[in-house]
Amino acid sequence: MTVDYSQSPSSPFSGAARVLFHRTVPVLAALALAIPANGSEVVEESMSTQYENIRLVRLADGLRNPWSLTFLPGDRMLVTERHGRLWLLEDGELTEIPGLPDDLLATGQGGLMEGLAHPDFEDNGWVYLTYSRQEGRETATTLIRGRLDGHELVDVEQLFTQDRTSGPGRHYGSRLAWTPDGHLLMSIGDRGSQPPRAQDLGDHAGTLLRLREDGSIPADNPFVDRDDAHGEIYSYGHRNIQGLVVDPETGEIWSTEHGPRGGDELNVHRAGENYGWPVVTLGLDYRSEGEFRHAEARTREGMVDPVYEFLPTLAPSGLALVTADRFPAWKGNLLAGGLRSERIRRVVIRDYEVLHEEELLLGKIGRIRDVREGPDGYIYVLNDEADGGVYRIEPAD
């Protein structure tokens, strides 16, 4: 594993082309390092929101730029650090899990990113992880899975890697989500330097993928019969999807996506659709390489407009759908995390129209990297800080 610490982090909803053989990553012989998580600490005893009074509890701290969390049986969680470490949080203690690939490059926005347990984890122990895989001086967004055996990741195999490497640093995407029918969704960003790649169906950049659990291509994917397209692609024309959630009842897919300057989007995904980037955007593009400077329009026939544009900018990362009864007034709402904005936006949607928004945790814990609804119905949050932590939102008494 290669780690470069010189780079700082950059700044609802209703419902594999190739499977690459990869040698099993050797498991470290040493015992996993355990560090105290300092136990649960109430950060805010009571905070008033429009419909719910909430409490904010810190479950763990001392994490360096945590990126993702996923839930395991027995009130356990796995937490990824972008800088290249995987942690098990159990009974108030963080234990490092060895077994990650040695071609992981942590630089800029890249590193170890998403972690997601298999729906049948209790039976098979599979954990899915995305990371920026190094190839020379370039990187590719890559998906692996391994079995969690005690405090080790074993039987690691590469399931997918994007077809084209790019200079490291930006727009890896990397969010994962399971659909009710057992398919795995995976986002890949446009990789930053050449935005028009997101319009090329022969390039994985700027897409949402739909895979089988082993990384192979579902036969009913929208582009499987086209010679000029990658069969994994489900939708395309995306800049950088950083929030992804699936309605467990309807199967509808929702995402939040970074715009350039402005233009942060909330989208619902349909098979085979083009979401426009970089031909259309609601934001202003940064100066880019080559002839491309700015989008041609804000909307265009044949390209899907976002359901909603977040104003002011959100810098989205992490997206949850409230399905449980812990917060009855929020049930059916989306909770969209924000990095630069340092807040969660609670979004009320009916018939694909945003009716209401509310800001939560504004400036309370810094940059929000991940937002998840736990199996216990509480809301779990990661902040993207050099001394980051795992937080839980509970109803206040």
Rounded to whole angstroms, how far apart are CA atoms 64 and 83?
A: 7
Q: Which two tokens stand for residue 250?
A: 């309807």
Whether the CB-CB separation of 65 and 9 falls below 8 Å is answered with yes
**Alpha helices, DSSP H only, in the chain?**
121-124
- pLDDT value at position 96? 98
Rounded to whole angstroms, how far apart are CA atoms 81 and 377?
A: 24
Higher pLDDT, 61 or 21: 61
Band the pLDDT of 397: cuts 50, 70, 90: confident
Rounded to whole angstroms, how far apart are CA atoms 86 and 145?
A: 13
Whether the CB-CB separation of 123 and 147 falls below 8 Å is answered with no
Mean pLDDT of the chain: 89
* pLDDT-wise least confident of 84-88, 283-287, 340-344, 352-356: 283-287
Band the pLDDT of 261: cuts 50, 70, 90: confident
- Domain made up of 44-395: CATH architecture: 6 Propeller (2.120)
Rounded to whole angstroms, how far apart are CA atoms 318 and 204?
A: 22
Degrees to nearest 5, angle at CA 318 with 270 and 289: 75
- pLDDT value at position 298? 84
- Phi, psi of 154, rounded to the nearest 5 degrees: -125, 170
Structure confidence by residue, pLDDT tens digits, 180-235: 999 999 999 999 988 999 999 999 999 999 999 999 999 999 999 999 999 999 99
Rounded to whole angstroms, how far apart are CA atoms 285 and 294?
A: 5
* pLDDT-wise least confident of 18-27, 308-317, 346-355: 18-27
Q: For the residues 76-104, what does the mean pLDDT come to?
A: 97
Nearest CA-CA partner of 68 in 369, 391, 385: 369
**Alpha helices, DSSP H only, in 241-383?**
none
DSSP conformational letter for 356: E
What is the separation of C-alpha 154 from the centre of its chain, rounded to a whole number of angstroms? 23
Q: Which of 171, 183, 258, 269 is catalytic?
A: 171
* pLDDT-wise least confident of 71-80, 160-169, 234-243, 279-288: 279-288
What is the separation of C-alpha 58 from the centre of its chain, rounded to a whole number of angstroms? 21
- Reply yes or no on whether 83 is catalytic: no
Q: For the residues 302-330, what does the mean pLDDT come to?
A: 96
DSSP conformational letter for 197: G
With tokens 């609804």, the residue in question is 373
- Is residue 251 predicted with pLDDT exceeding 60? yes
Rounded to whole angstroms, how far apart are CA atoms 378 and 381?
A: 10
Structure confidence by residue, pLDDT tens digits, 54-87: 999 999 999 999 999 999 999 999 999 999 999 9
* pTM of the model as a whole: 0.88
> Bridge partners of 112?
131
- pLDDT value at position 122? 97
Q: How far is CA 108 from CA 11, 143, 166, 169, 230, in A?
A: 10, 19, 13, 4, 27
- Is residue 324 predicted with pLDDT exceeding 80? yes
Question: What residue ranges do the domains of the chain occupy?
Answer: 44-395
